Structure 1
Amino acid sequence: MESNPFYISNRNKIKDIWLIPALFFAVAFGWLIARRGMSTGILLIVVPFLIGFVSLIFLKPRTGLLVFIVYCFIQSTLGKHIEGPQFGLGQDGLLVLTWLGIFFHRSGRFRFRHLNNDLVWLAVVWFGITVLQIGNPERPSFLGWFYEMRSATLYWVLSIPLAFLLLNKKTDIDLFLSIIIFLSAVGALYGAKQLFIGVDEAENRWLEAGAKKTHVLFGKLRVFSYYSEAGQFGASQAQLAIMCIILAVGPHGNKKKILYGIAGLLIFYGMLISGTRGAMAALVGGGFTFLVLSKQVKILVLGGLIGIGFLGVLKFTSIGSGNDQIQRLRTSLDPEDPSLKVRLMNQKILKDYLATKPFGTGVGTIGQWGTTYNQDKYISQIPPDSLYVKVWAMYGVVGFIIWFGTMLYITGKSAGIIWKTRDPVLRNKLMSLCGGATGIILCSYGNEVLNAMPSSMIVYISWTLIWLSPRWDTPQTQTTII
């Protein structure tokens, strides 16, 4: 009788009794899959892991922010490969869950007084301005406002305070840099796979649905890797390439320098195959920021000459013209480029239209959400082609001045903090973060980059780490006056 799995004895009671509920759940799951399809089965498998993950966030809220950093890189490719779920809303969910994990954490160890600083308050003010835009006289769609608001301000106002609370150790800079450099390098490798082997079925379906007209030019693929599109891929790769280059020339050990150098070259190649001309601004802006903050005239002069020489080769020679990626990059310096002329013409149209609208036409009235939810608005039919233009159109000249002034203030104060940093290793890492963030801000003049993932997440957390850095710096030497 002991061979019977349902026979209960003192020896095997605990082991075999679980076969009864297991059998019950197996039958129930089989019935649900038969009635509802395989998607229900996948959901049933995923739900226990989701419950475990949510529990982990409440136990260790820091986990939520780290997963958010990784998720910002991969959410776009998830959306391409799995139809149905709105994976973009997963970013919102992770941030909100992490905040809930902090509020209900049993330790109560989080010091909210550290959030009383100008970086957090600037984010709160911009969020408030965005909320006021609901009452814009142009009466934009609320759904358009909601979806645009997420990238325009929600991720900004949620992620920066979280970073202050959860990434407040000196080693967190290394952790953050390691994550984003690794994922960017993998992105470059995956992009090379798309170029030489080809896109997969899901990616090809996305191209055929409409993206092909901007991602296949003259029979050549503009690589987008696992990012949302080629423009974001190229800009993010340029941002990380210049960050790696700055780290590679810093006061690190030879092993680290070599790793940073290899990663920088690989990611730079990823930028080239994206065919994103605007990414040049991220390289130039980030490089110039580093040269200024280096405090060394020799490096500033040498770096400036190298940069001018690089731009000169692109502008005045035909070197590398046989390479499609280099040739497309060269067009970014051509004032007669047809694409540039179209952009300038659109800006002239917007200038006339917005002349009597100092507060713009409302958040979500131009760009993707404008064409989706505000088709009745004239402005929704004009492509912004630039984050600067988009902010100007949505918030008006008043809002644009506030936004641009905020960018200048944050960049200036970041530079001031780095200028006073005494620890040379920490200083080099901060220059990398500041150079990458400044490059993305400049790059956003040509493309909508700062309001897209993962670039916006990298910039927001970079700002926060720079603000936190004075507490990690080498203590100032005290001199005794006799």
Structure 2
Amino acid sequence: MTSPNFILNRHLGRGQFWLYTLLGGVYTVASGCLVSKMGMPGALMAVVAPVAFLLVLLVLMEPRWGLLLYVQLSFMLGFTRFIQTDVPVGLLIDGLLVLTVFSLFLNGQRMEWQRLRSLTFTLIALWLLYTLIELINPEAPYRPAWFYHVRPFSLHWFLVACIILVVPLTRRDVQIFVNTWLIWSFLAALWAFKQHYLGLTPAEVDWLNSGFNARTHMLFGQLRCFSFYSDAAQFGAEMAGVTLVALIRVFEERKPLIKGAYVLLTLVFFWGYAVSGTRSALFVLAAGFVFYLLLKRDVPKLLVGMALAVPLFLLLMYTSVGSSNYQVQRMRSALTPMNDPSFLLRLQNQEKLKTYLQDLPFGAGIGTSTDMGARFSPWHWAAQIPPDSWYVELWIETGWVGVTLYILMLLGLVGIGSYRVWQLKDPWLSMVMYGFLAEFVGIALMGYSNPVLGQFPTSSVIFISTILVATCNRWDTAPAAQNTVTESSIPPKPDWYEAI
């Protein structure tokens, strides 16, 4: 058996060890200088710098590492609440995606470029093109703000689509993504339970006391738990989404032990959704599960699902059962929006927006509403009326032309995904794609009441899952052939692998 030292000496040579000794000495001296001048931040930089350098090398050698890191960073952004820093952490994701796309060209010979010739990529590219044209919208009061909102609107989705379509991903990569999502969601639910039953950390209390966070997260003396996500609405949407995915696995799994594990996960995630107090997330579950039953085209299951769901909704709408429980009452109020003052206020705001936008088919310009509008053009009408909805935000910034194009893109992706899923023969792959597609439909419908489609980590999960569903046929295998390993089923080894 060849020893690691033999391999290292063979490729690097014994004479080059002086170089590593010199680099180690330089790093030690530089670390000492950073610590002496900057204290704890300098020590943190000394630790993070070599790790970041190693990760950059890994992404350049293997683009799928960039995709995996993108998922992790999307979930980790919420932890910036606990770190006092002026570094624009969100820009790290932009840099990572651009670095991963650059890696595609570095490893171009083994990338599957022909997959870009697809309807899925065309739809996303057309939406990106429209948002790029919005840069010259003459109505925009401050055009540099365009950069901040074009990223969640279209740019990230386009870059993720390029990566997933071109990189030769395997079934194992899909499984890693699913497991990563479930693990992060489980940890998020546990942290929300800590907030609900044990209390908040000092950093979380400071966050509540800043801006309008306390007004939206402390209602009638009850905390809307937000875990380590951006806010309670984002957390509730994610919990409802993973509840739906876990519930579908309960219906689809055949092994009792695995089915039981997903039953427990469903309960954990559902209670995570409940303590968030996000009423509109209930429609992620309702709409997503109905869509799943329609995808299955299984009439008996559809009837059983309706038999279970309809009485539950009637119980919430027309009785007072469980009203003493705050979480149940929040769910009940979601089904009677016309009795909700906040919903009526949204309708009033939308009537005001109709007046402003009636002669602006292309909107007021990307970056004119919500946080960027308040930051760069607070005097403008678009920054003074809260959209309270992802589609209303798109309407303000891109006009009825933009929001129509966006909805058509979503419908196109749902149609392509449904067609692909119906063609699958692999039970495991079908089960996973059912969950992805149902969750996407539920989150898309929830976008009417909350801007979760443009927030991490929901946006990252949606960007990845929609492209995986649209191209799921590349991993499809017949049930009898699932355990058969052939030469064609083994992914090609990267160029750098031969040098090891």
Q: How does 1:159-198 map to 2 (within 5 A)?
A: 159-166=160-167, 168-198=169-199
Q: Output the CA distance in 2 between the equivalents of 1:309 and 1:430.
A: 29
Distance of aligned partners of 1:324 and 1:308 in 2 relative to their CA distance in 1, 3 Å threshold: same
Distance 1:414 1:370 in 2: 35
| 2: CA distance, partners of 1:167 / 1:85 | 34
Which residue does the alignment assign to 2:310?
Answer: 308
Task: Give CA deviations for 1:74-105 in whole Å, capped at 9, x if unaligned.
Answer: 11222443422211112112111111222223
Q: 1:154 corresponds to which residue?
A: 155
Question: Which amino acid counterpart does residue 231 of structure 2 have in structure 1?
Answer: E
- Aligned-pair CA distance for 1:25: 5.8
Residue type of the partner of 2:114?
A: R
2:281 matched residue in structure 1: 279
SS in 1 for 2:368: coil
* CA pair 130-40 structure 1, distance change in 2 beyond 3 A: same
CA contact (8 A) 1:134 1:140 kept: no
Moved more, 347-356 or 94-103: 94-103
Shift of 1:274: 0.5
Amino acid of the structure 1 residue aligned with 2:450: N
Instruction: Report the residue type matching 2:115 in the other structure.
Output: H
Q: Which of 464, 469, 479 does residue 466 from structure 1 map onto?
A: 469
Letter in 1 for 2:308: I
The alignment's TM-score, normalised by the length of structure 2, stands at 0.88
Contact 1:81 1:203 survives alignment (8 Å): no
2: CA distance, partners of 1:209 / 1:458:
28
Match of 2:92 in 1: 90
Unaligned runs of 5+ in 2: 1-15, 481-500
- Which secondary structure state, in structure 1, belongs to the residue aligned with residue 454 of structure 2? coil
8 Å contact from structure 1 (residues 168, 468) kept in 2? no
Aligned-partner Cα distance in 2 for 1:475–1:22: 53
Relative distance call for 1:253 and 1:34 in structure 2 (3 A) is: same
Answer yes or no: is the 8 Å Cα contact 2:81–2:203 preserved in 1.
Answer: no
Q: Aligned residue for 2:333?
A: 331
The aligned residue for residue 436 of structure 1 is 439
Q: Is the 8 A contact 1:77 1:228 kept in 2?
A: no
1:28-177 aligned within 5 A: 29-105=31-107, 108-166=109-167, 168-177=169-178
| Structure 2: distance between partners of 1:429 and 1:15 | 49
In structure 2, C-alpha distance between the alignment counterparts of 1:272 and 1:418, rounded to whole Å: 31
5 Å matches for 1:383-462? 383-462=386-465
Mark the CA change 1:209 to 1:170 in structure 2 (over 3 Å): closer, same or farther. same
C-alpha displacement at 1:247, in angstroms? Answer: 1.1
- Check the 8 A contact 1:367/1:380 in 2, yes or no: yes
Q: Does 1:352 align with 2:352?
A: no
In the TM superposition, residue 177 of structure 1 has moved relative to its aligned partner by: 1.3
Q: CA 1:400 to 1:20, structure 2 compared with 1: closer, same or farther past 3 Å?
A: closer
Which secondary structure does the structure 1 equivalent of 2:316 belong to?
Answer: helix
Q: Which residue of 2 aligns with 1:260?
A: 262
C-alpha spacing 1:53/1:27, structure 2 compared with 1 (3 Å): closer
TM-score by length of 1: 0.91
Name whichever of 157-166 and 63-72 sits farther off.
157-166
Residues 209 and 374 (structure 1), Cα distance of their counterparts in 2 relative to 1, 3 Å cut = same
More helix by share: 2
User: Tell me, what secondary structure is at the counterpart of 2:37?
Assistant: helix
Q: Aligned residue pairs: how many?
A: 464
Q: Residues of 1 paired with 2:156 and 2:33: CA distance?
A: 41
Deviation at 1:174, TM superposition (A): 2.0
Aligned residue in 1 for 2:293: 291
List, as ranges, runs of 4+ consecutive aligned residues in structure 1 with deviation greater than 6 Å: 14-24
- 1:191 partner letter: A
Identity %: 33
Whether the aligned pair in 2 keeps the contact of 1:60 and 1:101 (CA below 8 Å) is: yes
What is the CA deviation profile of residues 437-477 of structure 1, one whole-angstrom value per residue up to 9, with x for unaligned ones? 11110011110011111111111211111122223334599
* Equivalent-residue separation in structure 1 for 2:385 and 2:275 (angstroms): 28
Pairwise CA distance, 1:31: 4.2
Per-residue deviation, residues 413-439 of structure 1 (Å, max 9, x unmatched): 212222232333322221111001111
SS at match of 1:360: coil
Higher mean alpha-carbon deviation, 312-321 vs 379-388, is at 312-321
CA RMSD of aligned residues (A): 2.4
Task: Return the alpha-carbon distance in structure 2 between the equivalents of residues 227 and 161 of structure 1.
Answer: 27
CA contact 1:58–1:101 (8 Å) conserved in 2: yes
Residue 413 of structure 2 contacts residue 470 of structure 2 at CA under 8 Å; is this kept in 1? Answer: no
C-alpha change, 1:131 and 1:18, in structure 2 (3 Å) is: closer
Assess if the C-alpha contact under 8 Å between 1:64 and 1:95 holds in 2.
yes
- The answer to whether the 8 A contact 2:420-2:471 is kept is no
Deviation, structure 1 residue 45 = 2.2
